[in-house]
Amino acid sequence: MSLSLLVQALLNGFGLAMAYVLVALGLTLIFSILEIINFAHGEFYMVGAFVAYLAFGVWGLPYVVALLAAIICVAAAGVVAERLVFRHLRGKTLNAFIVSLGLLWVMQAAAQLVFGVQDKSVPSAFSGIVRLSGVVISVERLAVTLAAATLIVALYAFLEHTRTGRAMRATAQDADAAALLGVNIEAVSALGFGVGCGLAGASGALLAPIFSVSPSMGALPVLKAFIIIIIGGMGSLPGAVLGGLLLGALEGVGTLFFSSAAVNLLGFLMVIAVLLLRPRGLLGGT
């Protein structure tokens, strides 16, 4: 096997890993603040993709505008979902699981009714291929990686260096104590859910021109997101990034040697190993 083939395989795996890390970060943020697992998270990713399809693919708006629109629209949808549905399920894991499954079906069915079931194509936002010593780098995938990385850095800065971000972290650590210190838990929950969904919507909008867009497209990214946060550690931003890179490396390099079914199996075996040996994840807290 040549070095260029190995490098290509690694690039393939890392190329879109950051976009999936965005989905994972949104999921873990929501879990941290509201203590619920949102199984409809993939559908917010799907909504973001459809917003990009409409804004960029159909109405011809600039791609950056479409991306911002996707983030804002999906974040707003997240706030609405939190207010109407999830606020009353804080800490009730089983109820929230069932409700989020219902929301998943509602959102998918609504998308099917509005857009139909056929895959929709979104034009490329960035075209061009760079070839370096036998390695192919898609400009579009590079742009997605940079955009996703920028959003991850922005999220980190928001959580670490803003008052609202600190309030979110305090709520995630101990909601009662945060409330006693004057944090408006309801507002923080709504904002946290909105930000979490907005991250998923951003990922959907970033990947829409690379993949096709369809009502059922949310299943695979949310599955990858679960794998990423289990490996990296629930609630850990650096853990999610590490989990994403590890999963990307496994998928990219693993496919050179094994079938796709075997690579999927390896991914789940990795999850089982982490859960058994280090349940808090590689970088998760105690």
- Name the residues that contact other proteins, by CB under 8 A: 5, 8-9, 12-13, 15-16, 108, 112, 117-121, 129, 131, 136, 138, 207, 210-212, 214-217, 219-220, 251-252, 254-256, 259-261, 263-264
CB 28 within 8 A of CB 234: yes
Decide whether 156 or 211 has the Cβ nearer to other proteins.
Answer: 211
**Which amino acid makes up residue 58?**
V
**Which amino acid makes up residue 198?**
G
Shortest gap between Cβ of 26 and other proteins (angstroms)? 19
Q: What is the CA radius of gyration of the chain?
A: 19
Shortest gap between Cβ of 156 and other proteins (angstroms)? 26
**Which amino acid makes up residue 190?**
A
Beta pairing partners, 131: 136
Shortest gap between Cβ of 106 and other proteins (angstroms)? 14
Q: Give the residue among 46, 34, 19 at the shortest CA–CA distance from 191.
A: 34
Shortest gap between Cβ of 248 and other proteins (angstroms)? 10
Decide whether 173 or 260 has the Cβ nearer to other proteins.
Answer: 260
Decide whether 118 or 286 has the Cβ nearer to other proteins.
Answer: 118
Decide whether 108 or 189 has the Cβ nearer to other proteins.
Answer: 108
Shortest gap between Cβ of 34 and other proteins (angstroms)? 28
Decide whether 201 or 248 has the Cβ nearer to other proteins.
Answer: 248
Shortest gap between Cβ of 202 and other proteins (angstroms)? 17
Shortest gap between Cβ of 256 and other proteins (angstroms)? 5
- Angle at Cα 283 formed by Cα 167 and Cα 192, nearest 5°? 25
Decide whether 82 or 251 has the Cβ nearer to other proteins.
Answer: 251
- Structure tokens of 33? 């603040």
Decide whether 139 or 282 has the Cβ nearer to other proteins.
Answer: 139
